[in-house]
Structure 1
Amino acid sequence: MVVPKAKVPDVLQLYHSGCSGGHLGVKRTLLKIRERFYWVHCRDDVETWWRKCKSCAAVKGPQIRSRGALKLYNVGAPWERIAINVAGPFPGSESGNKYFMVVMDYFTKWPEVFAIPNQEASTVADKLVHEVFCRFGVPLEIHSNQGRNFESQIFQETCRVMGTHKTRTTSYHP
């Protein structure tokens, strides 16, 4: 049966929100309606009705917002760009280390993990120079969060002396 445009809301009310409706999703509501009725742009009307249904919105929660595209970093060679972070504190080791310094190469995804006694900038910079730079070379870029140890004057000066560009993520949104 062809439904006049003026009667479309009545059909949608009955088949989606009414006693026989059950607040089904778009596909199932559309299947039920198409068993008996037809009108131009039926799918669009069902989708619009479903989106505006307050009962369905209360159950399904807020709509998921689309997120911005992730930035793709073009890295041309191993150890050209690295990421660094410090994790801890953990229970201390016999040698007094309570933190882990994690360094990862963006090109190869190779991680290096070092146990360190504290997360002070001088400790992190020293470990980075003696354990990473001496083994793999000085990277063009170091990426970190906004931790005090990475934003400190000591760490910034280490990067400047080594000729490395320092970048950072936004807080709580890497």
Structure 2
Amino acid sequence: MEQKRRPSHAVTNSYGIHTRKLFQMWDQLKVSQEILFRIFHHSDNGSTIRQLVVPFSLRSDILVHIHAGSVGGYLGHSKSLQKLKDHFYWPDYYNNVIMWCSTCSCATRKAATPKAKAPLDPIMVGSP
């Protein structure tokens, strides 16, 4: 990122899959005060969000904070995904959030949502 040029394929091939995915979105990445951000453009409303690219070592802390922290409240996976997407980014975050929420102790304590039954209505029957 220091040279502000996309590295060659030969250089990026020596990195892991997640780092290579970041190199693929080179044009969306910006460095500000030595911090890497991804610039995300909403297609539905045209707004732009600056997402912090989270290093691997901090991802579990972010997931705990988003899902179960004082601001989380044990949100489900869809709300946790939205909160994370508003501020943070890393490759494959979607699957990480789904896995995190499904293995959280709150998920095992929650009762299964009962399947809604159709309301019963009387049926008028005539003579045969």
TM-score between the two structures when normalised by the length of structure 2 = 0.46
Which entry has the higher C-alpha Rg, 1 or 2?
Answer: 1
TM-score scaled by length of structure 1: 0.34
